[in-house]
Amino acid sequence: MGKIIFYEERNFQGRSYECMSDCSDMSSYLSRCQSCRVESGCFMVYERPNFMGMQFFLRRGEYHDMQRMMSMGMMFDNIRSCRMIPFHRGQFRMRIYERENFGGQMNELMDDCDNIMERYRMNDCMSCNVMDGHWLMYEQPQYRGRMMYLRPGEYRSFRSGRPSRCRTCSQTYDSGP
């Protein structure tokens, strides 16, 4: 089980909110989030309520100045919702497709891939089916750009509020207790 504590001020000061599961709207607990501490597990944080908008992956550690971190790549200025990424033991497996609705060339991934287009000679990656494990997909090669958290299920299109194209894929691992 994961645990994250959000703070209104930098350096873990001010009002705090402790979370051990998904939270679709943090605005009733905190007016803003300037720092956080992930005590166990991994979390995705989102710029808007209901797990919408830009996403960022946090693993166990201390994030004493979210504003500074956001200026270095998060591209949003506040956290409004968070989702705990459950611990997964076992195999990781996902099918990626060149076109929306599982069309075009298909390839199966079972490990990290730093450049989908290069490894599989695909023009694009526009849909996928996650069979096992939890994954992060990135907009650019080498795990750069906007990211998207994928849990088991079908993703028919990467257009709505997600990176328009996914070029890198990484498995997510729990950082331990």
What is the pLDDT tens value at each position of the chain, 177 positions in all? 899 999 999 999 999 999 999 999 999 999 999 899 999 999 999 989 999 988 889 999 999 987 776 655 555 668 899 999 998 889 999 999 999 999 999 999 999 999 998 999 998 899 999 999 999 998 888 888 888 899 999 999 987 655 556 777 777 655 444
Task: Supply the pLDDT for residue 175.
Answer: 42
Give helix then strand counts, H and E, for the chain: 2, 12
Task: Supply the pLDDT for residue 177.
Answer: 44
Q: Which domains does the chain have, with CATH numbers?
A: 3-85 (2.60.20.10), 93-171 (2.60.20.10)
User: Which token pair is 40?
Assistant: 């166990």
> Quick one: 130 exposed, middle or buried, by C-beta within 10 A (0-12, 13-18, 19+)?
buried
> Could you tell me which of 165, 164, 138 has the C-alpha nearest to residue 150?
138
Interacting residues of 18 by C-beta distance below 8 A, sequence separation 6+: 3, 4, 5
Task: Supply the pLDDT for residue 45.
Answer: 93
Residue 160 CA to residue 131 CA, distance in Å, equals 21
> Could you tell me which of 64, 107, 56, 62 has the C-alpha nearest to residue 85?
56
Task: Supply the pLDDT for residue 56.
Answer: 87
User: Which token pair is 30?
Assistant: 């905190």
Reported pTM: 0.84
Task: Supply the pLDDT for residue 66.
Answer: 79
User: Which token pair is 26?
Assistant: 């943090």
Task: Supply the pLDDT for residue 89.
Answer: 86
